[in-house]
Amino acid sequence: MTTGDTTPSGGSVTSSAPLRSADLALAEFLRGEGRRVVATLTRQLGDLALAEDAVQDASLRALEVWARDGVPENPGAWLFVAAKRRAIDILRRERSRFDKERQATIMSALTAPDDAPHDLEDDQLRLIFTCCHPALSTEAQVALSLRVLCGLTVAEVARSLLASEQTMAKRLTRARTKIAKAGIPYVVPRPDELPERVDGVTTTVYLLFSEGYASLSDGPALRSALADEAIRLGRLLTVLLPGSPAVEGLLATMLLQHSRRASRFDANGDVVLLADQDRALWNTALINEGLALAAAAITHSPRHPERFAVTAAIAGCHALAADPAETDWPAILRWYDVLATIDPNPVVKLNRAAALAESGSPGEALADVDALVGLDSYFWFHATRAELLARRGAAADASVAAQRALELTDSEPQRRLLRRRYPPVPGATSSEVPL
């Protein structure tokens, strides 16, 4: 639904495009700079919404000036100064938005002797914890992270999360209002609060990653950039929390999954299944880094492994197999059993069933899948059923399941794969009673 649309805002450039216009390159560069300046300015002003507005205006100005005069020597500092000026303008113009006391505080912060962007990692970490504060809904956390941490425009956030721009603008406004009025602090939580906060942060970062990862081929370039962004945030978190198994596991999982990026789609943009992927295309550096982190994550949570330590272990099992036949499916199955004790949700059980099928018990796997409840609107449920049914020779049933899966995905490559693998069978209709 959203994957085909093209706009001049930068979302439409695919990674295979040979050339990018200078404007787009500049806009993308600005996005990175803008994100850092938002982080620093938020610390200085104590007001995320104001910082965002000021940086957005300054970015538009930069686009004009830089395209004309060239990119300045220190673009971050240029943008910072421009954003500060803009913040002063906003403060003067929109008096109603700030109470007097607050306005005075912000103004004095703005006019205090300049501190150029510094300690960027710290500022960004603070922002991560603000955007992923558990007092915000998960939807709000993800939307804010895309907007503030990844620097997407509201239109891009909306497209990414399959919502209308209007809905997304409202959701973001509500979240910003809550941050400002409820006083969600712009700090890295105290050590004793970190454990409970890390869970939400890692979950959000992984959602960002999945958002990009799910659509590397047919989505706009910005979505694949999300996977890179999520990995960047994951790396930032390892700086803050060295030795945290949740963070190590998160980063390991992302790196190991990302290592297969070049092999997941063929030249036509069609999905290449894991078993058929050219493993020579897998990124060895990412695999090695991911495996080391996965091992550390498991070592650091020996008795009660962290959820992401386990997902990293599973991704590691795949990465270690030089060819598909070498994949240690029984080990993967055991890890899924561990995962199911930590996170007993039907999606985990679905994945476990897939591993069970690969371990040589496809019949048992199908029975397990059929026993799952609550996944009727989940694409992978029907796609997995189609595959398991096809393997049993039940082509008609497989085709019906595939039809249901087709209705649940917007991904063209996924749709082509389903049509190719489970062709319609005469007489089979999708009138099957949903489970």
Partner 1 sequence: MPLYAAIIYSADVDWSLPEYADETKEYMAFAEGAAAVIRGGAALYPTATATTVTVKGGKGGDVVLSDGPYAETKEALTGFYLLECADLDEAIRHAAAIPGAWNGAIEVRPVLPLMS
Neighbours of 203 (CB within 10 A): 18
CB of 96 to partner 1, least distance (A): 12
- Work out the number of other CB atoms within 10 angstroms of the CB of residue 179: 23
The token pair that represents 250 in the structure block: 């998160």
- Residue number with CB closer to partner 1 (25 or 135): 135
Distance, CA of 16 to CA of 116 (rounded, Å) = 37
* Residue 143 near residue 175 (C-beta atoms within 8 A): yes
Count of residues binding partner 1 (CB under 8 A)? 11
Selected from 4, 8, 72, 185, the binder of partner 1 by CB under 8 A is 185
Give the C-alpha separation, 201 to 184, whole Å: 15
Nearest 5 degrees, angle CA 312-CA 314-CA 317?
110
Q: Is 8 in the site for partner 1 (CB under 8 A)?
A: no
- Binding part of the chain for partner 1, among 12-20, 119-127, 163-171, 180-188 by CB under 8 A, reads 180-188
AA identity, residue 339:
L
Host H or E run for residue 211:
helix 194-213
Rounded to 5°, the CA angle 185-31-70 comes to 135
Identified binder of partner 1 from the candidate list 99, 114, 278, 407, rule CB under 8 A: 99
104 binds partner 1 (CB under 8 A): no
Using CB under 8 A as the binding rule, whether residue 115 contacts partner 1 is answered as no
Closest approach, Cβ 15 to partner 1, in A, equals: 40
CA atoms of 245 and 232, how far apart (whole Å): 17
Asked if 195 is part of the footprint of partner 1 (rule: CB under 8 A), the reply reads no
Site string for partner 1, 116-155 (x = CB under 8 A): -----------------x-x--------------------
Among 104, 187, 281, 371, binds partner 1 (CB under 8 A): 187
Instruction: Assess 407 for contact with partner 1 (CB under 8 A).
Output: no
Minimum distance, C-beta of residue 393 to partner 1, in the bound complex (Å)? 53
What does the alpha-carbon distance between residue 224 and residue 126 come to, in Å, rounded to a whole number? 25
Interface region with partner 1, contact rule CB under 8 A, candidates 10-18, 178-186, 331-339, 405-413: 178-186
In the complex, which residues of this chain contact partner 1 (CB under 8 A)? 99, 133, 135, 181-185, 187, 189, 193
